[in-house]
Amino acid sequence: MEMQDMLADRLKQKRALSHASLEEYSKELGISKSALQKYEAGTGNPTLATVQTIADHLHESPAQLLGMADRIGSLEVGKDADIAIFEGNPLRDIQCKTKAVFVNGQQVSKG
């Protein structure tokens, strides 16, 4: 399923659960009614900033909103770990107190 389709499905599901009209829900999300209508139809092409805005209002990550969360790896390390190795795509805010973080074999952070 393409990201536009996943976004459309997620927005329709969320709006149905909230029992809100298109206009009410667009105001809640901070976007225009016509934009929401296009996104729900799968014909809109939101910017990354818009996806982030919608995700923030829904208290989700953009990855969850776009249906990518199931494809993202995760890792838990003990508080005293020297190295964290992460396979997959990093989420927006990785917070750890390790000496180094590796994503897909590339060092992205020094402790």
What span, in angstroms and rounded, lies between the C-alpha atoms of 67 and 82? 32
> Is 0.85 surpassed by the pTM of this model?
no
Strand, coil or helix: 106? strand
Q: Which two tokens stand for residue 16?
A: 């149905």
Tokens encoding 62: 């953009």
- CA 92 to CA 34: how far, in whole Å? 28
The tens digit of pLDDT for each residue in 83-93 reads 444 445 554 44
C-alpha of 92 from chain center: 8
pLDDT band (50, 70, 90) for residue 65: confident
Mean pLDDT of all residues in 16-38: 94
User: 55 is written with which tokens?
Assistant: 């995700």
